[in-house]
Chains A and B, each alone.
Chain A
Amino acid sequence: MSKLFTGAEIVFKCLEDQKVEYIFGYPGGAVLPIYDELKNHKSIKHILVRHEQGAGHAAEGYARSSGKPGVLLVTSGPGATNAVTALTDAYMDSVPLVCISGQVPTHLIGTDAFQECDTTGITRPCTKHNWLVKDVNELSKVIHQAFKVATTGRPGPVLVDIPKDIQFKKGKYIFKDSKQKLNGIKNKKLNIKEIDQLIKMIKNSSKPIFYTGGGVINSGPEASKLLRELVSLTGFPITSTLQGLGAYPGDDPQFLGMLGMHGTYEANNAMHDCDLMINIGARFDDRITGKVDEFSPKSKKIHIDIDPSSVGKNIKVDLAVISDVSHLLKALIKRFKEKNKDFLSSNKQKTSKWWSQIEKWREKKSLKFKNSETIIKPQYAVQRLYELTKNKDTYITTEVGQHQMWAAQHYKFNKPNRWMTSGGLGTMGYGLPAAVGVQVANPGKLVIDIAGEASVLMTMQEMSTAAQYKLPIKIFILNNQYMGMVRQWQEILHEKNYSESYTAALPDFVKLAEAYGCVGIRATKPSELDQKINEMISVDKPVIFDCVVDKNENCFPMIPSGKPHNQMLLGEDDEEEEISEEGKILV
C-alpha cells in the first residue's frame, strides 16, 4: 500500500511537483494545518503580505513578470473575500493564479460557522474554475488540475477551497499528467488554408495595421520575437493595447504607440482608416473600439486569439484563427517566407501612401504637453524617469488613473514582461503589491511602481511587506492631490463639479516611508527631478518618491464621449464640443 499523507502535506507535495518557489499569503484559523507544514518544505518560500488583496496582486506581479503561475494562500471567510478583487483582476487580464483557501471543517459547512463563507460560490464568476475538496484522496488530483487550468489556453485564476478537516486527514498522493480534456485549450492543428488566406489578405492590403495585445505577452518571449520578425518582414505599422506594451519595441519607427481612449493620434487614425487590421492577441475591448458602429468601418479584420469566445464578441471579423500566438506566428512566418521572397521591397510602393499619411498624423505630436520651469508636469516626470532608467532592465507597475496612462504613453518598453498594469478591471491599489511580486521574481532588478497618491493609499500597507523581505521597490507617486482621472472626467463632463475627487489630509509620504523603515524622497521642482530620481535608483531599500506635480494637468490625447477614433481631443488648445446628456449618463 502506498504511503499516506495529510492534506496539508499533499498541498506542499503538489506545490513542489509544480516547481513553485514562492507563495504569497496570510495565515488564519482555517489554513493553520497548511501553515504548520510550511517549515518542512524549504524549497518553498512564503511571503507574508499585510492584506489578502495584496497577496493576490503580488502573485499577479510575480506571474506577469516571470511567466510562471502566481500562488496565493489565504484563510476562509474574510481571507477569501479579500482575495476576490485580485482574482477578478487576474481574470480580466488573463493572469495565471492558483489561490488555495482554507475552509471551515466539512461538518460545519452551511451552518454559518465562524469565518465561513461560500468561497466557491463567491469566486465562481471570477475564476476559470474552482473546486471545493471534500475528499482528501481527490486533493492531489484537484491541485494539479488547478495548475493546468490556470496556465493553459487563455490563462487565468483558479481557486481550490480546502476544509480544515481535509487538511488533517490522511490520503493518497497521486501526480500524473491528467489526460482530462480542458475544453479547447490545447494547441489546435493549424489549418493551412487559413494561413494562406491570411497571407493573401496581407498581400492585397495597401493600408494595413497590426493591432497587438496581451495575448502576445502571455504566449511567452518567443511570441514577441516572432512578432518583431513578422512586422519587419512586412514593413507594416503596428500599434499595441495597454496590455501588449513591450511585445514590440516602443522606440521603433514602425511602432505607432498605444491605441485606444488615450492612445496616440496616429495609432487611432490608422486604426480608423486602415483597409486591413490584423489583431494578434487582443480582444476589441471597449477602451479600444470606442463607438462600435463606427469602429474602423472600411477594414477587413483578422483576429488571432487563443480564446474562441473572444472572437465576434464585440466586433465582427472577416477571418478568425483560434491559436496560441507564437504557434501561429511560427507557421505564418515560415509559410510567408516560402511564398514571398523579398516582400518588403516589392510591397514598399503599395504602402508608401499609407506611410506618408501616417507621418502626417505623427506630425501632430499628440503626446506633446506644455512643460513648465516652476512646476513638475507629470508627463515630464515620466519622461525623465524613462530616460534615467532605460539603460537598466527596468520593471514598471502602475496603479490606475491618469498616471497609468501617462506611464503607458511616455515610458517606452522594449521587452515583454516588463510592464504590469491593471487594464481590464482597472484596480486602484494594484501597483504597489504587484511591485512586491515582481521584485520577488526578479531579485536585483529595478522595479518601479508609477503611482497616483489616491491609488497607492489603497494598498499602502504592503510597504511593510517590502520592508520585511528587503525588496527595494520604488514607489514613484505622481502626487496631484486629486483622483486625477475622476477630476478630468468631471471637468469635461460634469461642468467642473469636482465632487469628492480631491483628497484633503493626505499623509506626508516622506514620513510615511520612514515610518515603514523605508526611504522617503520628495521632489517639487523640475530642476531637482533628475538628481532625486537618481538618488531613488541608487538606494538599496524600498523608496516612496513623492513627486509633487501640476494639479490641473489632463491626460491627452483622448477620444471623447461618443466619438469614433478619428475625432480625438488633442489637448487644451482643442475646441471642445459639448457632450450630450446621454453621453454623460453612459460614461
Chain B
Amino acid sequence: MKSSKSAYSEPGKIGKIDHHIIVVWVDNEAGVLARVVGLFSGRGYNIESLAVAEVDKRKHLSRITIVTSGTPQVIEQIKLQLKKLIPVHKVADFSRNDPKILFQELALLKVVSTKKNQQKVKKMCKKYNPIILDRSKKSFVIQVTALRREIDRLIENLRPLGLVSASRTGAVAMTKGAEVFK
C-alpha cells in the first residue's frame, strides 16, 4: 500500500521490532492479571508468552513475566502504561539479547515412539537439563529447561520422532550477579 491519505493518524515508518522481556511486580489481588493482559490486548500489544505466580506470600506479591515484541516506541509505551496501573509496584524491561540477564523456560514433552527413536530424543534433549518424569513401554515424559528459541527448535526437531504433546511455562527472567532490580 502506498502512503495512506487519512486525517486519522496513519501508520508512520515502522521502527525495528525487538523482542523484550517485561517483568511486572503486582499486588496479588482479584483481577490483576486481567488488568495487565487487558492493557496489552486493548492497546494492540503482543504477548508471546506469559508466566505468573505469587512470589511473596506475606506481601501478596506476584511476578508476571511477559515476552513481547514491538518497536522501541511501543516497548516504551508498554512500560509507561503498566506503571500507571494501581496494583503495579515496579516494571523491568530486558532486551532478549541482554547478556546480564538469565532467561529460562521449562517444558514438559511427551514422546510416544519406538525404543530407537526414544533414545534419539533423549540424546537431543541432553543439552537442556533433561529429567525423565514418567516412563512406560511406549512413551516417556521429559522435562527440559532452556531458552525459548531453543525449545522452539527442539520441538520442531522432535515432532518426527514421536513428540505428541508439549507444555511450556513461558519464559522467566532474572538478573545475573548480586544485583537486584529496584
Residues of A within 8 A of B (CB): 120-121, 124-125, 128-129, 132, 149, 182-184, 261, 286, 289-293, 307-309, 311-314, 316, 559-563, 579-580, 582-583, 585-587
Q: Within 8 Å CB of A583, what residues of B?
A: 4-7
Q: Besides the contacts A286-B7, A312-B73, what 16 more A-B pairs have beta carbons closer than 8 Å? A: A121-B34, A125-B42, A132-B31, A182-B86, A184-B83, A286-B8, A291-B7, A291-B10, A293-B13, A308-B83, A309-B80, A561-B6, A563-B7, A582-B4, A585-B6, A587-B7
Q: How far is the CB of B137 from chain A (nearest CB, A)?
A: 45
Task: Report the Cα distance A182→B83, complex, angstroms.
Answer: 10
Determine if A562 and B85 form an interchain contact, defined as CB atoms under 8 angstroms apart.
Answer: no
Q: Within 8 Å CB of B160, what residues of A?
A: none
Query: In the complex, how many residues of chain B place their beta carbon closer than 8 angstroms to a beta carbon of chain A?
Result: 27
Determine if B84 and A120 form an interchain contact, defined as CB atoms under 8 angstroms apart.
Answer: no
Q: Within 8 Å CB of B6, what residues of A?
A: 291, 561-562, 582-583, 585-587
Q: Within 8 Å CB of A261, what residues of B?
A: 7
Tell me the number of A-to-B contacts counted with CB atoms below 8 Å: 88
Residues of B within 8 A of A (CB): 1-2, 4-10, 12-13, 30-31, 34-35, 38, 42, 73, 76-77, 80-81, 83-86, 88
Known contacts A132-B30, A312-B76, A582-B4; decide if A307 and B9 are in contact (CB<8 Å): no
Known contacts A132-B30, A583-B4; decide if A183 and B9 are in contact (CB<8 Å): no
Task: Report the Cα distance A311→B83, complex, angstroms.
Answer: 14
Task: Report the Cα distance A559→B6, complex, angstroms.
Answer: 10
Determine if B84 and A562 form an interchain contact, defined as CB atoms under 8 angstroms apart.
Answer: no
Determine if B38 and A125 form an interchain contact, defined as CB atoms under 8 angstroms apart.
Answer: yes
Q: Within 8 Å CB of A579, what residues of B?
A: 5
Q: Within 8 Å CB of A289, what residues of B?
A: 9
- Can you show 6 pairs from A to B with CB atoms below 8 A apart? A292-B10, A314-B9, A563-B7, A582-B6, A583-B7, A587-B6
Q: Within 8 Å CB of A316, what residues of B?
A: 73
Determine if B4 and A286 form an interchain contact, defined as CB atoms under 8 angstroms apart.
Answer: no
Task: Report the Cα distance A113→B106, complex, angstroms.
Answer: 41
Known contacts A132-B30, A183-B84, A184-B83; decide if A292 and B7 are in contact (CB<8 Å): no
Task: Report the Cα distance A33→B92, complex, angstroms.
Answer: 45
Q: Within 8 Å CB of A293, what residues of B?
A: 10, 12-13
- Greatest chain A CB density within 10 A among B5, B35, B38, B86 is at B5
Determine if B5 and A309 form an interchain contact, defined as CB atoms under 8 angstroms apart.
Answer: no
Q: How far is the CB of A488 from chain B (nearest CB, A)?
A: 13
Known contacts A312-B76, A586-B10; decide if A184 and B4 are in contact (CB<8 Å): no
Task: Report the Cα distance A4→B35, complex, angstroms.
Answer: 33
Q: How far is the CB of A304 from chain B (nearest CB, A)?
A: 16
Task: Report the Cα distance A498→B1, complex, angstroms.
Answer: 28
Task: Report the Cα distance A121→B33, complex, angstroms.
Answer: 12
Known contacts A124-B31, A124-B38, A309-B80; decide if A586 and B8 are in contact (CB<8 Å): yes
Determine if A309 and B81 form an interchain contact, defined as CB atoms under 8 angstroms apart.
Answer: yes
Q: Give which listed residue, A184, A309, A560, contacts B7 with CB less than 8 A.
A: A560
Q: Give which listed residue, A311, A314, A582, contacts B1 with CB less than 8 A.
A: A582
Task: Report the Cα distance A290→B12, complex, angstroms.
Answer: 12
Q: Within 8 Å CB of B38, what residues of A?
A: 124-125
Determine if B84 and A184 form an interchain contact, defined as CB atoms under 8 angstroms apart.
Answer: yes
B86 nearest in chain A by CB position: A129
Q: Within 8 Å CB of B81, what residues of A?
A: 309
Q: Within 8 Å CB of A314, what residues of B?
A: 9
Q: Within 8 Å CB of B88, what residues of A?
A: 183
B1 nearest in chain A by CB position: A582
Known contacts A120-B31, A124-B31, A183-B83; decide if A561 and B77 are in contact (CB<8 Å): no
Task: Report the Cα distance A202→B77, complex, angstroms.
Answer: 28
Q: How far is the CB of B39 from chain A (nearest CB, A)?
A: 8
Task: Report the Cα distance A120→B13, complex, angstroms.
Answer: 37
A309 nearest in chain B by CB position: B80
Q: How far is the CB of B168 from chain A (nearest CB, A)?
A: 28
- Greatest chain B CB density within 10 A among A132, A307, A309 is at A309
Q: How far is the CB of B76 from chain A (nearest CB, A)?
A: 6
Q: How far is the CB of B100 from chain A (nearest CB, A)?
A: 25
Q: Across chains A and B, which 5 residue pairs bring their CB atoms closest together, nearest first?
A: A562-B5, A586-B6, A583-B5, A309-B80, A286-B9
Q: Within 8 Å CB of A582, what residues of B?
A: 1-2, 4-6
Determine if B30 and A561 form an interchain contact, defined as CB atoms under 8 angstroms apart.
Answer: no
Q: Within 8 Å CB of B35, what residues of A?
A: 124
Determine if B77 and A309 form an interchain contact, defined as CB atoms under 8 angstroms apart.
Answer: yes
Q: Within 8 Å CB of A128, what residues of B?
A: 84, 86
Q: How far is the CB of B131 from chain A (nearest CB, A)?
A: 39
Determine if B5 and A561 form an interchain contact, defined as CB atoms under 8 angstroms apart.
Answer: yes
Task: Report the Cα distance A560→B8, complex, angstroms.
Answer: 10
Q: Within 8 Å CB of B2, what residues of A?
A: 582
Task: Report the Cα distance A292→B6, complex, angstroms.
Answer: 10
Task: Report the Cα distance A312→B5, complex, angstroms.
Answer: 23
Q: Within 8 Å CB of A562, what residues of B?
A: 4-7, 10
Q: How far is the CB of B42 from chain A (nearest CB, A)?
A: 5
Q: How far is the CB of A385 from chain B (nearest CB, A)?
A: 29
Task: Report the Cα distance A308→B91, complex, angstroms.
Answer: 14
Q: Give which listed residue, B7, B31, B77, B86, contacts A559 with CB less than 8 A.
A: B7
B43 nearest in chain A by CB position: A125
Q: Give which listed residue, A183, A309, A587, contacts B86 with CB less than 8 A.
A: A183
A287 nearest in chain B by CB position: B7
Determine if A313 and B86 form an interchain contact, defined as CB atoms under 8 angstroms apart.
Answer: no
Task: Report the Cα distance A132→B30, complex, angstroms.
Answer: 9
B74 nearest in chain A by CB position: A313
